Every structure is written in C-alpha cells, then in structure tokens.
C-alpha cells in the first residue's frame, strides 16, 4: 500500500502526509553523511548492562555530523516552499541555530535528552532533527540489528537511542509470533514481551486491545494499570507507512476520547491544529 490509497480513505491526514513528503524531499537535496559503524566488541559490555548504543561512551558513535545534517535540513525547509506556518517556524529556528557556535553538537545533545540544549521551538527541532539524524544513523541501525541478540535486550526503551517506543508491531505466526516495538526517533525496531505494558511496571498486566472499525491491521493496545496505550500494526509488509505514526494519528484521537494516555513518544506534537486529524 502506498500513501495514496491510504490518504484517499483518510483525507484528514493529508497535511501531515504533505509535511512528511516535503521533509523527505528536502533531505534528498542534502549531502548525505553516514555514521561510522562502531566496533561491537567495545560496546558489548554496555549492551548487556542495558546502556543504549548512542549513550555508550565505549561505542563512541559521533553524532555531530548528523547534527550538521539536521541544521542543513532546517535551513532548507526555511527557504523552501513549505506551508506558511512551517516556513515561519523553521526560519526562527534557523536564525537561532546560526547564532550558535556549536549548533551541530547542541542538536545532538538535545536529541539525546539534554533539555538545557533545547531551542525556543523544541517540538519542531525534535521532529526535523530526528528525521535527519535517523537518515544519518541508518547504516548503524541496520548493522546493530544484525549484531544484536534481541532476546538479551527486551527492554522498554530503544536499544539505539533510549527513547520509549512510538508504536508496536506483531510479526510472524504462532508459536513464533513476536511483538516488536518501534522507535519513532531513530527508526530501530526491537523485540519486547508479547504481553505486558511497555510503559509501567505492571508486568503481570495483560494489555487490553481495541480493534478499530475500518482499519484492518491497526489496533490500540492499552494497559489497565497505567492507562497508557500503544498503537499496534498487526501485519507485515507495509511498515514504512503504517509504523510512521502520522499515518495513524486518528487512532490517537480515538484513544484520547476513551480516556487513554499517549505514553509513547511522538515527533508530531508540534504540528498546529490545522495539520491534525
């Protein structure tokens, strides 16, 4: 499935789809830098101790070039033909970053959780910079997936960047059916328990599940203990669209109407109401 039939059925998602297309197009015009793949032996002890790859001093993944790509992407969006609100906000962000002697470093620190490095529009930078950083990290995320024994992680946070999941996916068939969690920031997917809440300590708690009418393949799993929910793609082959988070923001509206709380990370929190379902 491509975005077109999906959008024909979900017209209210069009502003977010356009935004994703514009950002993708702007990235394609940038010089693409790629992160160096670390020596896995250096990182192995931290991995066993539960330290995410990018937080590991031993793995030494240098994020500064990714920060440079992110700053270049902000500049590109500020000068492009984006919607008016996006041009205005990216311009303000570009001006702020231009006055900063170590902008690339600051962006990388901010993405890894340093709030002191946050700019005036942190939501927008988080979205734009993670999109660039995920492209920069793509070879590392892929090589990490090949090296890692997922059975030895099984944690609530991303093994690459440490973020909580944005969505989940069920893959395979029983008895080997597995649940993968999906990072909305760096794009890593990792294995987690089939049942159990990824947001709270209620390990014995099974998640309740809501099927959404007219949305085969997508459902909302939620925890009776913490009321956190996770959108889940119950299928395979259409990950790029259905795990993108923006393509199912209408499910967040349904969940919110039911009194559930979005505990998953979202890069789309900055979008103005005019760009929301």
Binding site for Zn ion (CB under 5 A): 158, 160-161, 163, 183, 185-186, 188, 197, 199-200, 202, 223, 225-226, 228
Contact by Cβ (8 Å): 154, 175: no
The whole-angstrom separation of Cα 14 and Cα 16 is: 5
Residues 58-97: b if buried by 16+ CB within 10 A, e if exposed: ebebebbbbbbbbbbbbbbbbeeebeeebeebbeebbeeb
Shortest Cβ distance from residue 129 to Zn ion (Å)?
13
Q: Please, which residue, 95 or 195, has the CB nearer to Zn ion?
A: 195
Shortest Cβ distance from residue 66 to Zn ion (Å)?
13
Q: Please, which residue, 197 or 271, has the CB nearer to Zn ion?
A: 197
Structure tokens at 104: 């690339």
Q: Please, which residue, 21 or 195, has the CB nearer to Zn ion?
A: 195
DSSP bridge partners of 134: none
Residue 276: exposure state from Cβ atoms within 10 A (0-12, 13-18, ≥19): middle
Q: Please, which residue, 119 or 165, has the CB nearer to Zn ion?
A: 165
Residue 138: exposure state from Cβ atoms within 10 A (0-12, 13-18, ≥19): middle
Shortest Cβ distance from residue 156 to Zn ion (Å)?
10
Shortest Cβ distance from residue 76 to Zn ion (Å)?
24
Q: In a 3-state reduction of DSSP, which class is residue 99?
A: coil
Contact by Cβ (8 Å): 70, 33: no
Secondary structure E strands in the chain:
167-171, 178-182, 189-192, 207-211, 218-223, 228-233, 261-262
Shortest Cβ distance from residue 159 to Zn ion (Å)?
8
Q: Please, which residue, 46 or 96, has the CB nearer to Zn ion?
A: 46
Shortest Cβ distance from residue 55 to Zn ion (Å)?
11
Q: Please, which residue, 30 or 202, has the CB nearer to Zn ion?
A: 202
């Amino acid at each position: 499935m491509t975005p077109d039939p999906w959008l024909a059925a979900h017209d209210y998602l069009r502003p977010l789809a356009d935004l994703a297309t514009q950002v993708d197009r702007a990235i394609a015009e940038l010089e693409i830098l790629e992160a160096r793949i670390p020596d896995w032996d250096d990182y192995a002890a931290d991995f066993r101790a539960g330290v995410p790859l990018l937080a590991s001093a031993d793995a030494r993944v240098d994020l500064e070039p990714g920060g440079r790509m992110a700053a270049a992407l902000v500049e590109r969006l500020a000068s492009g033909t984006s919607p008016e609100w996006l041009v205005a906000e990216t311009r303000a962000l570009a001006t702020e970053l231009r006055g900063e002697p170590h902008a690339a470093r600051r962006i990388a620190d901010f993405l890894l959780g340093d709030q002191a490095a946050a700019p005036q529009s942190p939501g927008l930078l988080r979205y734009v910079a993670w999109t660039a950083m995920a492209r920069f990290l793509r070879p590392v995320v892929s090589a990490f997936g090949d090296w890692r024994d997922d059975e030895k992680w099984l944690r609530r946070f991303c093994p690459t960047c440490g973020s909580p999941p944005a969505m989940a996916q069920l893959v395979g068939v029983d008895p080997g059916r597995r649940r993968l969690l999906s990072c909305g920031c760096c794009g890593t997917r990792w294995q987690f328990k089939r049942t159990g809440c990824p947001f709270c300590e209620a390990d014995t708690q099974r998640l309740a599940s809501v099927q959404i009418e007219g949305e085969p393949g997508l459902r909302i799993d939620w925890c009776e203990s913490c009321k956190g929910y996770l959108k889940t793609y119950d299928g395979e082959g259409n990950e790029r669209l259905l795990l993108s988070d923006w393509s199912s923001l209408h499910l967040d509206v349904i969940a919110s109407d039911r009194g559930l709380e979005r505990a998953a990370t979202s890069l789309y929190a900055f979008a103005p109401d005019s760009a929301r379902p």
